[in-house]
Amino acid sequence: MLNYIEKINKNVNIEEGKKAIENILISIYFKEGISTKELARENLLPIPIVAAIKKEFIKKGLVIQDKGTRLTVEGRCFVEQQLGFENIDKDLYMKLLMEPWKQHREIIEIKEELQEIFDNRPQVDVTVDQSKSSMDTSLKRAILCLKNHNLVGKKILCLGDDDLVSIALGFLLKKLFDNTIHHTTKITVMDIDKRIIDYISNISTKESFQIKCAAVDFRKPLANDFKNKFDCFFTDPPYTIEGMNLFLSRGIEALKDDSGLNIYFSYAHKSPDFQLTMQKYILSMGLTVSEVIPRFNTYEGASIIGNTGQMMVLKTTNITESLIQQFYKEALYTGEIKKTVRSYRCKGCGEIIKVGGFEKFNNIETLKSKGCYKCNGQVFDLIQRKNMN
């Protein structure tokens, strides 16, 4: 079947990119009889641009003007077979578009399936800045992906996935396609932590999800096999400027070469000065900040960031380019940049134990799991925190 989106994009050549053209066609698919004005409002585009795109759709035989805009048989076949919407539960998709954060029955059912999986995921490794997002957060990220028409029929990358966003995406797709795996969405996970890779791979095999996992150290240049392949990516990078720049750079290289592609970028709430620096780097990579959702993410046991974080939806432009393309050899994670040693007192015997990157115990989670070396106690009080820089 012809790639109509490519052909129409060449004819109208809009700055918003091919994704904007595709989204208009999807809007018509879900809202037969929609007006040009509503299409423009729904897709945040000027009416003349939407009218020009619609005219091209009509020329190609994809839509007709009949009491609003409607798909032809050819148009419907294209959306279902080429864009991946065949056999989708249209009612559920529309419910999630209109009320994405409501506790619909289907969402509650997904959470019931996810609960045990999230309860049993590997312990966090704070040396690589891991902190577990809540199950609700990971599922909200998946729904946000749907809300922006980035879910169905797409190639999605999770750049680091201790939050199991890939698994949440898998269960959401399964629900949308009537508890089957017959859809065309492909999900790839890259993570440096082999425990995360193995855990996601095992669940994916058990559930027959289309998730591929790769152990990747982002300090190394991205392999050619991963470049220019993906329609969007998720990342919750180390909360350092260095970590943000590296993870965004690797993700940009992985994205297809087009404007208007979404990056789902989770980050801690920071001071205005820090956020100004963040946004300068984001702009320097040729990205725009499309949306900022405060308190979107919640985390388990991440009291240092107030257990919450923001979601920033970034978009590519025609000048988007990664900042770091070669080997990265500098400090990256918080513990490398801010060398901190914490002293804990065992509640059982009073022994003072130091915790830090160069101590016997790298983090408090390891100390709790191993126990006090004098009494095996597992409850500790923080009594001192010292910055060693």
- Cβ partners under 8 Å of residue 288, min gap 6: 314, 315, 317
Contacts 24+ apart (CB under 8 A), 217-224: 217/192, 218/159, 218/160, 218/190, 218/192, 218/246, 218/247, 218/250, 218/328, 219/246, 219/327, 219/328, 219/329, 219/332, 220/327, 220/328, 221/325, 221/326, 221/327, 222/250, 222/253, 222/254
Burial class of residue 3, CB neighbours in 10 A (0-12, 13-18, 19+): exposed
Q: What is the pLDDT of residue 286?
A: 97
Residue with structure tokens 């789902």?
Answer: 264
Q: What are phi and psi of 262, to 5 degrees?
A: -95, 140
Tell me the per-residue pLDDT of 24-61, one tens digit each, with 9 for 90 and over. Answer: 999 999 999 999 999 999 999 999 999 999 999 999 99
Task: At 272, list the tokens.
Answer: 């205005």
Sign of the dihedral defined by the CA atoms of residues 231, 93, 87, 208, in that order: positive
Longest dimension (CA), the chain: 80
User: What Cα–Cα distance (Å) separates residue 57 from each residue in 7, 38, 154, 231?
Assistant: 10, 17, 22, 22
Tell me the per-residue pLDDT of 300-348, one tens digit each, with 9 for 90 and over. Answer: 854 444 588 999 999 999 999 999 999 998 877 766 666 667 899 999 9
Percent of the chain with pLDDT over 90: 76
Q: What is the mean pLDDT of residues 187-212?
A: 96
Q: What is the mean pLDDT of residues 280-294?
A: 96
* pLDDT at residue 1 tops 50: no
Q: Which of 196-205, 332-341, 370-379 has the highest mean pLDDT?
A: 196-205
d(CA 168, CA 112): 12
* pLDDT at residue 135 tops 90: yes
> 186 and 222 in contact (C-beta within 8 Å)?
no
Q: What is the pLDDT of residue 206?
A: 95
Mean per-residue pLDDT of the chain: 91
> For the whole prediction, is pTM greater than 0.75?
yes
Percent of the chain with pLDDT over 70: 93
- Cβ partners under 8 Å of residue 338, min gap 6: 387, 389
d(CA 239, CA 337): 11
Kindly report the length of the chain.
Answer: 389
Looking at residue 361, the DSSP 8-state letter turns out to be: B
* pLDDT at residue 8 tops 60: yes
Q: What is the pLDDT of residue 128?
A: 65
Q: What is the pLDDT of residue 154?
A: 97
Tell me the per-residue pLDDT of 79-112, one tens digit each, with 9 for 90 and over. Answer: 999 999 999 999 999 999 999 999 999 999 999 9
Q: What is the pLDDT of residue 305?
A: 47
User: What Cα–Cα distance (Å) separates residue 347 from each residue in 215, 354, 377, 378?
Assistant: 39, 14, 7, 8
